[in-house]
Amino acid sequence: MRLARPADNIFAALGTLIGAGLAGVASPARVVLVVALSNALLSAASMVFNDWHDVAEDAVNRPDRPIPSGAVRRPSALIASILLFGAGIVAATVGGSAFGLAAAGIATASIVYTWRLKSVPLVGNGTVGLLSAYPLWCWMLVTRVDGLVYVGAAAAFFVGGTGREVVRTAADAAGDAALGIRTVATRYGGTRAVHAGLGLILAGLLCAWLSSAAAGFGYFTALALTTAAMLVTGIASVGSASAPHASRRITRVARAMTAVLAGGAVWDLMASGWLRP
């Protein structure tokens, strides 16, 4: 369970439901639910596969993780990731062939990222941003998109998620540099990674603001609060002497910001009759 990171998997499922609501996809409910399940399984699979592959880096950066700590055998993690990827693809296929093909593509992209693209600065970060935003933008596969809030939220999550990944490289710079792994932080320095990632996170918020005219009270309020929180955090972090410390602080705020924005979206969707019979 620790390898799969349940909180992230739950958020993937919730993001799928929110995406369906914002995109105007209400039925059939079976499709919405199986796609949400699929995205949760794909999220878990990618987390487990990443830990299986990155055991050497985690031994330096996160020695308490299940594999380097000895709590989980490495072959068992690989088997679990394969089963989870397979289950995610099967669940998506139940929702329709388009979702099944997309799930197979997401699984492939996750594996390619972990194996190759992770060591390509910015490209790897952008890939994670795209994969993380998939629960939102997956509905573009089956419906005509004309909702500004939906488009803005998907774009914001992609751009902001990319920024968060760039910021995180500063926290892992010591271990990555020791193992010769190329990241934004190891190539350009931790401070530049923090500044570049923060800029992308703020750009993601700008994407959300550009579509906020059509937003309801909940999402608009959440957007105002999270923007203020990130600006305050960013100003404090820019003046920080420790890039790893600034990285961890921005990452924590970014995760909380995502949860608050999701809560605002749910508030508006419930107010509009979402999920009511």
Give per-residue burial for 194-205: e unless 16+ CB within 10 Å, then b. bbbbbebbbebb
C-alpha to C-alpha distance for 277 and 275, rounded to whole angstroms: 6
User: 216, 214, 218: which is closest to 145 by C-alpha?
Assistant: 214
Strands (E), 89-206: none
Mean pLDDT of the chain: 91
Is the pLDDT at 277 greater than 60, yes or no? no
pLDDT bin (cut points 50, 70, 90) of residue 257 is very high
Q: What number is the average pLDDT over the span 196-216?
A: 93
Q: What pLDDT shows up at residue 54?
A: 84
Is the pLDDT at 252 greater than 60, yes or no? yes
C-alpha to C-alpha distance for 124 and 131, rounded to whole angstroms: 11
Q: What pLDDT shows up at residue 119?
A: 84
Residue that is written with structure tokens 């952008």 in the block: 126
Q: What number is the average pLDDT over the span 10-15?
A: 94
For helices 6-23 and 123-137, what crossing angle results, to 10°? Answer: 60
Helix, strand and coil percent figures for the chain, each rounded to 5? 80, 0, 20
Q: 115-137, pLDDT tens digit by residue?
A: 889 889 999 999 999 999 999 99
Is the pLDDT at 61 greater than 80, yes or no? no
Q: What pLDDT shows up at residue 274?
A: 74
Q: What number is the average pLDDT over the span 48-66?
A: 86
Q: What pLDDT shows up at residue 148?
A: 83
Q: What's CA 65's distance to the chain center, in Å?
A: 20
The count of other CB atoms within 10 Å of the CB of residue 160 is 29
C-alpha to C-alpha distance for 246 and 146, rounded to whole angstroms: 38
Higher pLDDT, residue 162 or 236: 162
The count of other CB atoms within 10 Å of the CB of residue 54 is 21
Which residues in the chain are classed under CATH 1.10.357.140? 1-142
At the top level of CATH, the class of 147-270 is mainly alpha
C-alpha to C-alpha distance for 216 and 22, rounded to whole angstroms: 11
Instruction: Enter the tokens of residue 239.
Output: 């003046």
Q: What pLDDT shows up at residue 275?
A: 63
Non-local CB neighbours of 160 within 8 Å, separated by 6+ positions: 129, 200, 201, 203, 204, 205, 207, 254, 258
C-alpha to C-alpha distance for 191 and 211, rounded to whole angstroms: 31
Q: Is the dihedral of CA 183, 187, 189, 194 positive or negative?
A: negative
Which residues in the chain are classed under CATH 1.20.120? 147-270
Q: What pLDDT shows up at residue 27?
A: 65
Q: From residue 54, how far is each of 75, 121, 207, 229 by CA, in Å?
A: 13, 17, 33, 32
- What architecture is the 1-142 domain classified under in CATH? Orthogonal Bundle (1.10)
